[in-house]
Every structure is written in structure tokens, then in C-alpha cells.
Structure 1
Amino acid sequence: MASAVSENPFGRSITTEDIVDTLGFFDSWEDRYKYIIDLGKELPAMPDELKTEDRLIRGCQSQVWLEPSEQDGYFEFQADSDAFIVKGLLGVILSAYNHKRAGEILDFDIDSYFDELDLMRHLSPTRGNGLRAMVQRIREIAGE
């Protein structure tokens, strides 16, 4: 899986490899869920004034807000949710997409990443649909 940290104006952040490696240390999905929730707690706080209707992602069971910014061709996404596990899943997704150029975002094989994490098998169908809606919105932004 190609997701090395690019030279970008935002600096280093947690990578998909970091997440795959860390989740591999845990024997149970209960411990993996705790780690995923902790990822969400590490996301920078999204200001309340950005939590508006136009930033809501449709298709998520929980409320999820996404705000993109771009600097020197690199994207950074601020995101938040009203559900702890969803905020953690945002951390998993943003490790794949933050601090990347549009082409890197569109080329990244998110399904292989989710397979490597064995993630979709451990999410409810509605939560899996929400995860896909988050990914789709990020890809739409990168494609604009």
C-alpha cells in the first residue's frame, strides 16, 4: 500500500501504516475499537462555527461534518462527529487522505486499506455505509 508521508506544508501526521501496525498489536476487536476511539480523540477540535448544514455528510447515521482546506496543492480535512466511534473512524480515514495532493487522494485504494484493517466486517451495515459516504465526499472534493 502506497501511503508514505509526502513532503507537504502541514508536516508529519499519523499514517495508514501507523494504524495498520498499531491495530496489529491488539488481539481483540474490543481493544481495536478502543484504539480507533482514541484516534478520534486526537483529531484537532473543529470549531462549532464550522459545524453547519452545508458541511454535513449525507448518508451517515451520526452527524459528521467535514471542512477541506488546501495549501500548496495539499489537502487537509477538519472533521468531527457527535459519535465517538465515528470520530475515530474519521481518524482512520484522514490518515489516508490528509496532507495529500488530489491525485494521491483519488489514487489511494481505500478498499484495500479497509481490508487490511479487517474493518468493514466489524462495522454494522449502517456504520459501513456512513464510512463509505465520508470517503466519497472526500474523493468528490479532491476531484473538483
Structure 2
Amino acid sequence: MSLPAEAHVALDSFKQCAGWESRARLLMQWGQRLPALPETKKTDANLVQGCESLVWLVGELKDGHWQFAASTDARLIRGLVALLLARVNGLSAEQLVQVDLPGWFEQLGLSRQLSPSRSNGLNAVLVRMRELALG
């Protein structure tokens, strides 16, 4: 499956990291790039269930391709969610179903830093994206 352009940017930048410290810095930078979600979108209906941190997610279908936006107050999760959005934004519902979340973070060199609760939370975000896409 082909990657969205933003996912290629993420992969290229993370491949240049020498170790965990530079990856952690880059992860925080990706989190800072995540656009703020309007307060009006931070509703219970948009709150992702299954995350230890509060994560709000909204999605919109544009010309057959999904565009998601998300917000969280947890800094590390912000970066991880930003990378997930880079991987999925612009995909069709069919492509979204095929996204391999563990494989994506493995490619970025971040899988060892994902605790089980973070993995579960990110998976909950991806499941919510699929629910929105598949109706």
C-alpha cells in the first residue's frame, strides 16, 4: 500500500535519527505541528474511548479520502497521534482498514518506546478512525 506524502516525510526524518534522544525530540516536534482542535470539537462524542489520555478525534470525507484531526494534552501522545495522522490522512476507507499500526511505528523506529497502554490507546484511535470511515 502506498504511503501518503506526509508519511514519507515522517519516515525520512525518523530514519535520520541516530538514537532514542533524537527520536524523542523529533516526536515532540511532530506533536507541536499538530493543529489545535477547536474547543467546540472537544465533546464527549469526539472523545476516543480506550485511551488513558484524553484524545479527541474528528474526521471528514473529502473526495473519497479521509482527513482526520485530533487533539490531546499529553505531549508524547500528541507526537504519536500526529504521526498516526501523517500515516492515515488522505486514505480511502478501504486503505484505512489495511493500516498496520505496529508496522508503522516499527518503520519509524518507535515501537520499543510504545508501552502497552500507549499501543492500546493508539489502536483505539485507529479503531475510531475506521468506525468513522465505515459508518
TM above 0.5, yes or no, is yes
Q: 1:2, 1:108 within 8 Å by CA — same for their partners in 2?
A: no
CA distance in 1, matches of 2:125, 2:59: 12
- The aligned amino acid for 1:125 is P
* Superposition map of 1:5-20 within 5 A: 5=5, 14=6, 16-20=7-11
Output one character per residue of 1:61-92: Cα deviation in whole Å (capped at 9) or x when no partner: 11000011112211111100011111111111
Which TM-score applies when normalising by structure 1? 0.85
* Superposition map of 1:51-70 within 5 A: 51-70=42-61
Which TM-score applies when normalising by structure 2? 0.90
Query: Is residue 138 of structure 1 aligned with residue 135 of structure 2?
Result: no
The residue that corresponds to 2:28 in the other structure is 37
The residue that corresponds to 1:85 in the other structure is 76
The residue that corresponds to 1:2 in the other structure is 2
CA distance in 1, matches of 2:82, 2:37: 13
List gaps (5 residues or longer) in structure 2: none
CA distance in 2, matches of 1:141, 1:111: 21
Query: Is residue 107 of structure 1 aligned with residue 87 of structure 2?
Result: no
- The aligned amino acid for 1:59 is G
